[in-house]
């Protein structure tokens, strides 16, 4: 059954929960709701944050304080919008990202999994990954769909700096670092495409709900 | 134009924030004490989203290159223009070449300066707010701050509006050692003893605090064993990570988080939260939903009278 619950986060935000676990079907409902609420342009809503199983609706805290926005005013509109969203199917965009599989931790993943490096690359690039949501840092996509055989524990000591474009495996997840940040995941490759550009009108290459395919490319000299 | 001759501990440009980007992992950001920034803009005659100078933990020092009207707001700090005291929440004419000194605040952490016309730094993703994760840098010594040129002459003398009324209204909050909160969605995950101690026990604001989050120090609480799936979070959410010391999410918070949300700071105390400073003692006052609605209504009534007073002084 298509149920959801509303949980206010104080007076300025509302969390809509569609499920309790990381689940593809639940996440699809989150993204359908995100699209519907975004298009509805509800008064006082300044941000919508889809995650694994929740959509969080953020009001402008100052507008709530000054009395020009309130959760009460939008909550009455949500049931019909969410019902319509559940009925709506969207086709995900499929984004192909070229990857040079030459990361410094490829050997570590190979050793841990007992798979050859070539097999690690084959399996990683065979997957179709869902962008469950973006968070942690601008443009950082939480991807679902990693082959369970590829799961490898995070590094004991995180790197102080991971280069932008690094493709990594952390436990049962995989991701591409859009920006240079500290990071503790196993770096298996590199994607040369720009994934985050704050000066662009579309700053992030990946959007919530997209599907990602990694295409192996040879290292250029 | 003005020059930031001596920056505060953290100095940056802020407007009301970056809206409609949080689904990309981009923080809403904006002025930490958004009310102080909004009021300063309102009194100086700017658009409410104009960019202002945010000075976290002054002392700081400025040089006005061109004369302009300006309003200071936020923390209770002594401010001088060429040695003469400048009140907070007052529209003042700052002459060209004037030196402005902002002392360490007596209460609160953050001083705002709105200049008539607004600060004209580049707009990134719909906002001028500094966010280091977008490749923007905080202000350093001798930073030049361009101002959109509006009126270039004082309407009359040095000080135009001295609204002690606003000062009185704001200062009672800055000196409050209690922060009004309501239980968060995971408050029920705490055992009864921890729930009680969260309210009874005071905390000290850590010097590890930032525009992302305010960290509290004290005796650790028993954090819930249960884990949350990462989900969207909001300003004023009080997280309790496994080490048992609360983190209050400030303006530049990450968009998603996975720690239990045990409390939520009430809308009328988000400014108070923003003005917490390192070393200060604070206690949570846990309110129920009906009390919160009452207090918000009371706050709004006092604030409406304050706003009327501003318009009255202007004309």
* SS3 at position B81: strand
Domain presence at residue B119: yes
B252 and B145 within one domain:
no
Nearest to B263 by CA among B138, B178, B206: B178
Q: What is the 3-state secondary structure (H, E, C) of chain A?
A: CCCCEEEEECCCEEEEECCCCCCHHHHHHHHHHHHHHHHHCCCCEEEEEECCCEEEEEECHHHHHHCCCCHHHHHCCHHHHHHHHHHCCCCCCEEEEEEECCCCCHHHHHHHHCCCHHHHHHHHHHCCEEEEEECCCCCCEEEECCCHHHCECCCCCCEEEECCCEEEEEECEEEECCCCEEECCEEEEECCCCCECCCCCCCECCCCCCEEEEEEECCCC
Per-residue confidence (pLDDT) for residue B302, from 0 to 100: 86
Domain presence at residue B296: no
Nearest neighbour of A52 by CB, restricted to B22, B125, B229: B229
Domain presence at residue B109: yes
Q: In the CATH hierarchy, which fold is given to the domain comprising A94-216?
A: Cyclophilin (2.40.100)
Residue B164 clears pLDDT 60, i.e. is over it: no
Cβ proximity of A57 and A16 under 8 Å: yes
Number of Cβ within a 10 Å radius of residue B179:
22
B108 and B10 within one domain:
yes
| % of chain B at pLDDT higher than 90 | 78
Residue B165 clears pLDDT 60, i.e. is over it: no
Per-residue confidence (pLDDT) for residue B166, from 0 to 100: 66
Quote the CA–CA distance of A80 and A33 in Å, as a whole number: 11
| % of chain B at pLDDT higher than 70 | 92
Quote the CA–CA distance of B229 and B256 in Å, as a whole number: 10
B154 and B32 within one domain:
yes
**The token pair that represents B6 in the structure block:** 């001596």
Total tally of structural domains belonging to chain B: 2
B127 and B75 within one domain:
yes
Enter the pTM of the model.
0.93
Interface of B with A in 50-109 (CB under 8 A): none
B136 and B8 within one domain:
yes
User: Could you tell me if A199 lies within 8 Å of chain B, comparing CB atoms?
Assistant: yes
Per-residue confidence (pLDDT) for residue A86, from 0 to 100: 81
Cβ proximity of A80 and A60 under 8 Å: no
Residues of chain A contacting B300 with CB distance shorter than 8 Å = 65-67
Per-residue confidence (pLDDT) for residue A197, from 0 to 100: 95
B40 and B139 within one domain:
yes
* SS3 at position B164: helix
Nearest neighbour of A46 by CB, restricted to B20, B229, B236: B20
B250 and B180 within one domain:
yes
Domain presence at residue B153: yes
List, for residues A165-185, the tens digit of each pLDDT value.
Answer: 999 999 889 999 999 988 899
Tell me the domain boundaries of chain A.
Answer: 5-87, 94-216
Per-residue confidence (pLDDT) for residue A136, from 0 to 100: 85
Q: In a mutagenesis test of the B interface, which of A10, A21, A136, A181 is the best target, namely the one with the most B β-carbons within 10 Å?
A: A10
In this structure, what DSSP letter does residue B267 have? G
Q: What does the pLDDT average to over B294-301?
A: 92
Per-residue confidence (pLDDT) for residue B161, from 0 to 100: 47
List, for residues B234-255, the tens digit of each pLDDT value.
Answer: 999 999 999 999 999 999 999 9
Q: Is A13 in contact with B134 (Cβ distance < 8 A)? A: no
Q: How many Cβ pairs closer than 8 A exist between chain A and B?
A: 144
Domain presence at residue B183: yes
Quote the CA–CA distance of B222 and B235 in Å, as a whole number: 23
Per-residue confidence (pLDDT) for residue B184, from 0 to 100: 96
Per-residue confidence (pLDDT) for residue B154, from 0 to 100: 56
User: Could you tell me if A60 lies within 8 Å of chain B, comparing CB atoms?
Assistant: yes
Nearest neighbour of A198 by CB, restricted to B124, B230, B255: B124
pLDDT band (50, 70, 90) for residue B72: very high
The domain of B267 spans 175-288
B151 and B20 within one domain:
yes
Quote the CA–CA distance of A51 and B229 in Å, as a whole number: 9
Cα separation values, A83 from A16, A24, A43, B36, Å:
13, 19, 19, 40
B6 and B149 within one domain:
yes
Residues of chain A contacting B133 with CB distance shorter than 8 Å = 137-138, 179
B180 and B153 within one domain:
no
Cβ proximity of A189 and A102 under 8 Å: yes
pLDDT band (50, 70, 90) for residue B313: low
B214 and B146 within one domain:
no
B279 and B241 within one domain:
yes
pLDDT < 70: residue spans in chain A: 1, 219-221
Task: Look at domain A5-87 and name its CATH class.
Answer: alpha beta
Domain presence at residue B182: yes
Domain presence at residue B72: yes
Domain presence at residue B242: yes
Cβ proximity of A42 and A103 under 8 Å: no
Q: What is the CATH number of the domain that holds B256?
A: 2.40.100.10
């Amino acid at each position: 059954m298509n149920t959801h619950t509303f949980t206010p986060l104080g007076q300025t935000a509302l969390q809509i929960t569609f499920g309790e676990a990381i689940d593809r079907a639940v996440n699809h409902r989150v993204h359908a709701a995100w699209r519907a609420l975004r298009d509805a342009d509800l008064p006082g809503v300044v941000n919508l944050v889809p995650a694994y199983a929740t959509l969080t609706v953020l009001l402008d805290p100052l507008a709530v304080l000054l009395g020009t926005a309130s959760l009460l005013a939008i909550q009455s509109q949500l049931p019909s919008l969410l019902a319509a969203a559940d009925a709506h199917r969207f086709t995900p965009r499929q984004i192909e990202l070229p990857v040079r599989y030459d990361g410094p931790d490829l050997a570590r993943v190979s050793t841990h999994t007992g798979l050859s490096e070539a097999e690690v690359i084959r399996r990683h690039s065979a997957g179709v990954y869902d962008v469950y949501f973006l968070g942690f840092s601008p443009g950082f996509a939480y991807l679902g769909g990693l082959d369970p055989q590829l799961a490898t524990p995070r590094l004991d000591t995180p790197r102080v700096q991971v280069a932008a474009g690094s493709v990594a495996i952390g436990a049962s997840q995989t991701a591409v670092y859009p920006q240079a940040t500290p990071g503790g995941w196993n770096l298996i490759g590199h994607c040369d495409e720009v994934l985050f550009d704050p000066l662009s009108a579309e700053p992030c290459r990946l959007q919530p709900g997209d599907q990602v395919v990694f295409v192996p490319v040879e290292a250029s000299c | 134009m003005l020059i930031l001759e001596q920056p505060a501990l953290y100095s940056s440009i802020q407007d009301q924030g970056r809206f409609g980007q949080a689904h990309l992992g981009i923080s809403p950001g904006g002025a930490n004490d958004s009310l102080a920034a909004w009021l300063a803009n309102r009194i100086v005659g700017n658009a409410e989203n104009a960019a202002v100078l945010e000075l976290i933990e002054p002392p700081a020092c400025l040089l006005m290159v061109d004369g302009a009207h300006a309003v200071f707001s936020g923390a209770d700090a002594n401010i001088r223009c060429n040695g003469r005291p400048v009140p907070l929440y007052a529209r003042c004419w700052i002459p060209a070449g004037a030196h402005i000194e902002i002392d360490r605040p007596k209460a609160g952490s953050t001083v705002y300066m709105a200049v008539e016309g607004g600060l004209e730094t580049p707009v990134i993703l719909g906002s001028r707010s500094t966010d280091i994760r977008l490749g923007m840098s905080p202000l350093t010594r001798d930073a030049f701050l361009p101002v959109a040129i509006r009126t270039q002459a004082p309407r009359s003398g040095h000080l135009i509006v001295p609204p002690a009324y606003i000062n009185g209204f704001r200062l009672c909050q800055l000196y409050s050692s209690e922060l009004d909160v309501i239980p968060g969605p995971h408050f029920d995950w705490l055992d009864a003893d921890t729930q009680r101690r969260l309210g009874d026990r005071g905390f000290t604001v850590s010097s590890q605090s930032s525009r992302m989050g305010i960290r509290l120090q004290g005796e650790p609480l028993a954090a819930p064993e249960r884990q949350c799936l990462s989900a969207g979070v909001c300003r004023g959410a009080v997280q309790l990570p496994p080490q048992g010391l609360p983190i209050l999410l400030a303006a530049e918070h990450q968009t998603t988080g996975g720690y239990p949300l045990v409390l939520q700071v009430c809308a009328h105390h988000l400014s108070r939260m923003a003005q917490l400073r390192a070393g200060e003692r604070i206690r949570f006052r846990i309110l129920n939903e009906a009390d919160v609605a009452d207090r918000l209504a009371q706050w709004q009534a006092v604030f409406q009278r304050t706003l009327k007073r501003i318009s009255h002084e202007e004309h």
